[in-house]
Amino acid sequence: MDFSRKAIVAALIAPAFAISTAFAAEPGFYVGASAGQSTAKASTDQVLVSTPPPVFNTFHFDKQETGYKGYVGYNFLPWLGVEGGYVDLGNPSQHWNVGTSSIDASVDANGWEGFLVGILPLGPVDLFAKVGGISANFDLALKANVVGQPTQHFSESDSNGMWAYGGGLAYNFGHWAIRAEYEAYDVNKLDDLYLISGGVTYRFGGDKPKAVPVVASAPVPAAKPAVAAALAKCPDGDKDGVCDADDQCPTTPPGARVGPGGCDCDYALQLEFAFDSAELHANDKAKLDAIVPVLKNPKVAFIAGEVNGYTDSTGDADYNLGLSKRRAQAVADYMKSKGVTLGDRFVVHGFGESYPAASNDTVEGRAQNRRVVLRRTDCGPEHP
C-alpha cells in the first residue's frame, strides 16, 4: 500500500480516537459476522518468458472477490474496546490473453486479525475507528501459458504479521446492530488489499445505551418564595420570602402568600356603592389609586384577576344584574383612565344579587352587598 494512502487513512483515524474519549459506550462482549467485497491490487516487472519474444514484461493485477469475516469484541472502557476475528478475503483471480499465449494470476488471502477500537456514539449510530494487525497468508501466484513452451509458474508469499486498520458505523437497536465498515491491510507484496463489508452484531448484557440527544428538560417548579429567599440569603424586609431586590410589593403583611414578584396572592379590594348607584366615591378612588402603581409596573405584568360587581337584593333581579355589571365596569374604566392596561389580564363580571357578603335583612348588610371586589387570580390555590 502506497505511503500517501497510509497517511490519509491515519489522518482520518486519529481524530476519531481523540474525540471518542468524550463519549460513552456500554462495556461488554459482542459477536458478529459480515460479508462484502474484497479488492486486491498488485504489479510486477518480472519477465515471464525470457526467450524471444518476451511475454508480459510488466504485470498489473486489479480484481474484486467476495470476502467474509467473523469477530468477537469487548468494550472495557466507556470509549474504548478490542476486537478480533477471522477474515477470508477470497481468491481474486485475473486472466489475460496475449496473442496465442495467456497469463493467469490469483491472490489468496486469509488469517486472524486484532484491533484496538475507538467509539463515537451519535444517537443510535456509533462511528468507530480501529487499528491493529493481521497474521495471515497472502499468496500472489502467476502462470504463463506460451504456445510451444512449458507452463511457467511464479509466486510471491507474505505470511508475517502486518498492519491493519479501518473504520465504519453501526446502527443500534436493542442488543442488535447493523454494521458497515472498511478494513485495509498493509501487505508488502501487494499495492492494495482491502475489504468493504456489511453485517450484523449481537451485544450481550443490557441494551446498548444510545447517546442521549440534547433535549430541553421539563421546567423545574420554582421554589416557594420563602425557600428561595432562604437559599439566596438575601435581604428581605417584609419577610415574605422574596429578596428586596426582586420584591415589587415590599410592604406585604407578614405571613402573606405571595407570588414571584412579592405581591400578595390573596389580595382583594372591596369598594362599596350607594343604593342604585354605579358612581365611584372619593374614598373608592383613593383605594384604587393605591394599587395603580403596582398594576402599571411591567415587572409584575403577569398579575391577573377579576373585577366582580354585586348588588343587594332590593328590586328586580334582572335590573340588579345590569347594575352590578355597570359597577364593575366603572372600576375597570377608572383604572384604565389611570394608565393601567387591563387587556386580558382582568375579567369584568356582574353577579347581581348573587353571592351576598352579608345578610340582606339589615341596612348594614345590604350596604356591604352593594360592592365591587377586585380579586387576584393568577397565583392559583398554591404558590406559583
* pLDDT value for 219: 42
**What is the DSSP-derived secondary structure letter of residue 49?**
B
DSSP string, 174-216: TTEEEEEEEEEE--TT-SEEEEEEEEEEEE-SSPPPPPPP--P
Beta bridge partners of 337: none
The answer, yes or no, to whether the previous bond of 53 is cis (omega within 30 of 0) is: yes
- Alpha carbon separation from 117 to 74, 77, 148, 253, 320 (Å, rounded): 9, 11, 55, 67, 84
Closest by alpha carbon to 296, among 343, 235, 259? 343
Q: Is residue 291 scored above 60 in pLDDT?
A: yes
pLDDT in tens, 15-40: 444 444 444 445 789 999 999 999 98
**What is the DSSP-derived secondary structure letter of residue 164?**
E
Gap between the Cα atoms of 320 and 313, Å rounded = 8
**Do 205 and 26 meet the contact criterion of CB atoms below 8 Å apart?**
yes
pLDDT in tens, 119-165: 888 878 889 999 999 887 766 666 666 666 666 665 666 566 789 99
Gap between the Cα atoms of 282 and 286, Å rounded = 6
Give the three cell numbers for residue 160: 508475517
Backbone phi and psi for residue 20, each to the nearest 5 degrees, phi listed first: -65, -20
Gap between the Cα atoms of 42 and 26, Å rounded = 41
**What is the DSSP-derived secondary structure letter of residue 311?**
-
* pLDDT value for 170: 92
Residue with cell 374604566: 333
pLDDT in tens, 240-287: 566 766 666 766 777 677 766 667 676 677 888 888 888 888 888 888
**Do 142 and 103 meet the contact criterion of CB atoms below 8 Å apart?**
yes
Task: Tell me which amino acid residue 153 is.
Answer: H
Q: pLDDT confidence of 373, banded at 50, 70, 90?
A: confident
Q: pLDDT confidence of 184, banded at 50, 70, 90?
A: very high
Closest by alpha carbon to 309, among 361, 362, 346? 346
pLDDT in tens, 156-173: 665 667 899 999 999 988
Domains and CATH numbers, the chain: 3-203 (2.40.160.20), 267-376 (3.30.1330.60)
Gap between the Cα atoms of 127 and 290, Å rounded = 66
Beta bridge partners of 138: 109, 158
* pLDDT value for 132: 95
Hey, is 368 helix, strand or coil?
Answer: helix
pLDDT in tens, 310-367: 999 888 889 989 989 998 888 888 888 888 877 777 888 899 988 898 898 888 888 8
**Do 372 and 328 meet the contact criterion of CB atoms below 8 Å apart?**
yes
Q: Is residue 196 scored above 90 in pLDDT?
A: yes
Task: Tell me which amino acid residue 342 is.
Answer: L
DSSP β-ladder status, 268-272 and 192-203: unpaired
Neighbours of 12 (CB within 10 A): 12
